[in-house]
Amino acid sequence: MVWRIRPFRNPDPPQLVRLWNLALVGRGAAVLPHVNCLEQGVLSKPYFDPKGLLVAERDGQLLGWVHAGFGPGSTGQRLSTEQGVICVLLVHPQHRRQGLGTELLHRAEQYLLEHGAREIYFGAHNPLRPFYWGLYGGSEPSGILESDTDARPFLEKRGYQIVATHIVYQRILDGRACEVAGPAATWKAQCTLQVIPKPLPSDWFEVAASSPLEIVRFQFVHRGQVLAHVDMWEMELFGWRWKQPTVGLLDLSVSQEHASSGVKAALLAQSLEYLEEQYYTLVEMHVPESAQHLRRCLRDLGFEMIDRALVYRRNIRP
């Protein structure tokens, strides 16, 4: 036995942060400057269980870690262990291809199964996103990014299949106009953009999972009525990797009545203009691969596809 696998202990964070920065070098992992980031995005969650974060250790040095957890039950007010998710798996670059990643994966699966999981996912995604929002994946957790190229062949060989795909779009704010045409242009001229703090969700799990991100809401108002809204947060840690002030957009919602009337495009166009005035230079948004209308809308506004986020699931034999 060349390493020992054990649950998380309180003195581990400095080594975890060092390992994270060494092992996760793709575009979609934040550079962690300090243990506080790990504290806020992972360890402080009310449902954090040290037994779900397993580290591989040899002679006091951490060589890799894996972290599994659970999502909310149907009301969002408590944890459900029916579905488990492995959020992160990483091995020090100098200790790969020795079987450690496989052993960590199996130990995380075992943890989930012992707690009653009937489905095992790999890649945090809505609503199974207990940890790492703001640290991995970009504007929202939508799975494992394709740009982390080690993950897919590794997981597929170990029985995982892709069950959901999101397209990661980015738009550079470089002074280009956010032009919209037809009904969208009329809505853009007639509606007002209100910027408010996102109302606190009633869902306990969502509050815990998204904390401490400060999420702001852009409301699109016409004659006192809110027609649509989209949320945004400042992606500070990702901005350091990408070397520009970046925001993430998420949870775009349009009233049923205006679903296909150009309101969506008008809201996004006004939001981009507002963000540019605030000196942000990059915007990211994740969209389900099947959401063709929204994808077309983003392309028309100058967004480009820069990555894909993949959710994996492993079949469990009954």
- Shortest distance in whole angstroms from residue 153 CB to ligand COA: 6
Q: Please tell me the distance from the alpha carbon of residue 161 to that of residue 311, in angstroms, as a whole number.
A: 8
> Binding to ligand COA by residue 101, rule CB under 6 A?
yes
What are the distances in angstroms from CA 25 to CA 47, 139, 204, 262, 318? Answer: 28, 17, 32, 39, 37
- Shortest distance in whole angstroms from residue 141 CB to ligand COA: 11
In the complex, which residue's CB is closest to ligand COA? Answer: 101
What are the distances in angstroms from CA 12 to CA 24, 61, 152, 180? Answer: 18, 10, 28, 51
Which listed range, 31-39, 82-90, 176-184, 232-240, lies at the site for ligand COA (CB under 6 A)?
A: 82-90
- Shortest distance in whole angstroms from residue 168 CB to ligand COA: 15
The residue with tokens 């942000």 is 280
- Shortest distance in whole angstroms from residue 147 CB to ligand COA: 9
Helix (H) or strand (E) holding 264, with range, is helix 263-277
Q: Which of 157, 223, 243, 317 binds ligand COA (CB under 6 A)?
A: 157
> Binding to ligand COA by residue 243, rule CB under 6 A?
no
**Please, which of residues 165-194 interact with ligand COA by CB under 6 A?**
none
Nearest by Cα to 285 from 231, 229, 212: 231
Question: How remote is the C-alpha of 35 from its chain's centroid?
Answer: 19
Query: How big is the chain, counted in residues?
Result: 318
Cβ contact 129:41 at 8 Å: no
Q: Which of 5, 23, 135, 294 binds ligand COA (CB under 6 A)?
A: 23
- Of the pair 143, 262, the CB lying nearest ligand COA is at 143
Q: Buried b / exposed e across 163-198, counting CB within 10 Å, b at 16+?
A: bbebbbbbbebeeeebebeeebeebbeebebeeeeb
Cβ contact 305:269 at 8 Å: no
Q: Which of 21, 40, 102, 147 binds ligand COA (CB under 6 A)?
A: 102
Q: Which of 53, 55, 89, 287 binds ligand COA (CB under 6 A)?
A: 89
**Please, which of residues 279-318 interact with ligand COA by CB under 6 A?**
none
# of chain residues touching ligand COA (CB under 6 A)? 20
> Binding to ligand COA by residue 54, rule CB under 6 A?
no
- Shortest distance in whole angstroms from residue 95 CB to ligand COA: 7
Largest CA distance in the chain: 70
Nearest by Cα to 267 from 230, 213, 302: 230
Q: Which positions from 126 to 155 touch ligand COA by CB under 6 A, shown as an x/- string?
A: ------------------x---x-xx-xx-
Residues in the site for ligand COA, rule: CB under 6 A? 23-24, 88-91, 96-102, 144, 148, 150-151, 153-154, 157
